[in-house]
Chain A
Amino acid sequence: MAAYIVRRLWQIVPTMLGVILLIFFLFNVVGGDPSYLLAGKISNPETIANIRKQLGIDEPYYVQLWIFIKQVVTFDFGQSWSTNEYVSSIFASRLPASLMIGIPLLIVEAIIAILIALGVAYVRGSLTDRAVMVSCTVAQSVSILVYIIVFQYVLAYKFGLFPVQGWGNGFFENLFKYASLPILIALVVSLAPNIRLYRTFLLDEINQDYVRTARAKGLTENRVMLVHVLRNAAIPIITNLMIQLPGLLVGLFLIERFFSIPGIGREVILSVERSDFPVIKAITVYVALATMLANLAADLLYKAVDPRVELK
Chain B
Amino acid sequence: MDLFPTFRTQGGLGRCGAAILCALSVLVVGCGDRSPKSAQQAPSDAAVSSAVSPVQADGKKVLRIPFVVAETGFDPANVHDLYSSIVVEGIFDTLLTYDYLAEPAKVVPKITTEMPLAEDGGKVYTVKLKKGVYFSPHPVFGDKKRELVARDITYSIMRHYDDSIKPVWRFLIEGKIVGLDDWYAANKKAGKIDWDAKIPGIEEIDSHTIRFKLTKPDVNFNYVLAHPAMSIVAREVIEKFPNDAQANPVGTSAYYLKEWVRGQKIVLEKNPNFRGGTWDFKPSGKDPYDEVLVKQMQGKPLAQIDRVEIYPIEEEQSRWLAFKNKQLDLVNIPGNFAPQALPGGNLAPDLVAQGIRLQKMVDPEYTYLYFQWNDAVWGGAEPHKVALRRAVAHAINRDEEINVIRKGQAIRAEFIVPKGVAGHKEDFATNHTYNPPLANALLDKFGYKRGADGYRSTPDGKPLVFKITRQATAIDREFDELYKKNLDVIGIRFGTETEKFADSLKRQKRCQVTIRGSAWIADYPDGDNFTQLLYGKNIGESNDACYKSEAYDKLYEQSRSLPDGPERDKIYLEMQKQFEADTPWVMGVTRLRNQAIYPWVLGYKKHPVLLSEWMYMDINTGKGK
On B, residues with C-beta under 8 Å from A are: 2-6, 8-18, 20-21, 23-24, 27, 30-31, 33-35, 37-38, 70, 72-73, 78, 80, 163-164, 166, 168-171, 243-244, 246-247, 261-265, 311-315, 317-318, 321-322, 324-325, 327, 500-503, 505-506, 509, 523, 538, 540-542
User: Is the CB–CB distance between B263 and A267 below 8 Å?
Assistant: yes
Measured in the bound complex, the distance between the Cα atoms of B27 and A135 in whole Å is: 12
Measured in the bound complex, the distance between the Cα atoms of B70 and A295 in whole Å is: 35
Given contacts A43-B541, A156-B321, contact A116 B509 (CB under 8 A): no
Q: Inside 8 A of B325's CB, which chain A residues have their CB? A: 156-157, 160, 164
A-B contact pairs, 28 of them (CB 8 A): A33-B502, A37-B80, A38-B80, A38-B166, A40-B169, A42-B538, A42-B541, A44-B541, A83-B246, A85-B247, A115-B16, A122-B4, A123-B9, A139-B24, A153-B321, A154-B30, A154-B31, A157-B324, A159-B35, A164-B327, A165-B327, A166-B327, A220-B4, A258-B315, A260-B313, A260-B314, A261-B264, A270-B70
Given contacts A160-B35, A270-B263, contact A116 B542 (CB under 8 A): no
Chain B at the A interface: mostly helix, strand, loop or mixed?
A: loop
User: Is the CB–CB distance between A45 and B540 below 8 Å?
Assistant: yes
On A, residues with C-beta under 8 Å from B are: 30, 32-34, 36-45, 47-48, 50-51, 53-54, 79, 82-85, 90, 93, 115-116, 118-120, 122-123, 126-129, 131-132, 135, 138-139, 149-150, 152-160, 163-167, 188, 220-222, 224-226, 257-262, 266-267, 270, 275
Q: Inside 8 A of A150's CB, which chain B residues have their CB? A: 27, 31
Measured in the bound complex, the distance between the Cα atoms of B313 and A259 in whole Å is: 8
User: Is the CB–CB distance between B168 and A40 below 8 Å?
Assistant: yes
Q: Inside 8 A of B78's CB, which chain A residues have their CB? A: 84
Q: Inside 8 A of B523's CB, which chain A residues have their CB? A: 41
Cβ 8 A contact of B247, one of A42, A45, A84, A157: A84
Cβ 8 A contact of A262, one of B4, B246, B263, B509: B263
User: Is the CB–CB distance between A42 and B6 below 8 Å?
Assistant: no
Lowest 4 A-B CB distances belong to which pairs? A40-B168, A32-B502, A128-B17, A262-B264
Residue of B166, B170, B264 with highest tally of chain A CB at under 10 A: B166
User: Is the CB–CB distance between B261 and A93 below 8 Å?
Assistant: yes
Given contacts A32-B503, A123-B9, contact A260 B318 (CB under 8 A): yes
Distance of B483 from chain A, by nearest CB (Å): 24
Given contacts A131-B21, A152-B318, A165-B321, contact A40 B80 (CB under 8 A): yes
Given contacts A47-B168, A266-B263, contact A126 B311 (CB under 8 A): no
User: Is the CB–CB distance between B314 and A257 below 8 Å?
Assistant: yes
User: Is the CB–CB distance between B10 and A258 below 8 Å?
Assistant: no
Q: Which residue of B lies closest to A168 (CB)?
A: B265
Measured in the bound complex, the distance between the Cα atoms of B509 and A188 in whole Å is: 48
User: Is the CB–CB distance between B315 and A257 below 8 Å?
Assistant: yes
User: Is the CB–CB distance between A41 and B542 below 8 Å?
Assistant: yes
Q: Inside 8 A of A118's CB, which chain B residues have their CB? A: 3-4
Q: Which residue of A lies closest to B241 (CB)?
A: A84
Measured in the bound complex, the distance between the Cα atoms of B261 and A262 in whole Å is: 8
Cβ 8 A contact of A84, one of B31, B246, B264: B246
User: Is the CB–CB distance between A126 and B14 below 8 Å?
Assistant: yes
Measured in the bound complex, the distance between the Cα atoms of B30 and A159 in whole Å is: 9
Cβ 8 A contact of A120, one of B17, B30, B313, B500: B17
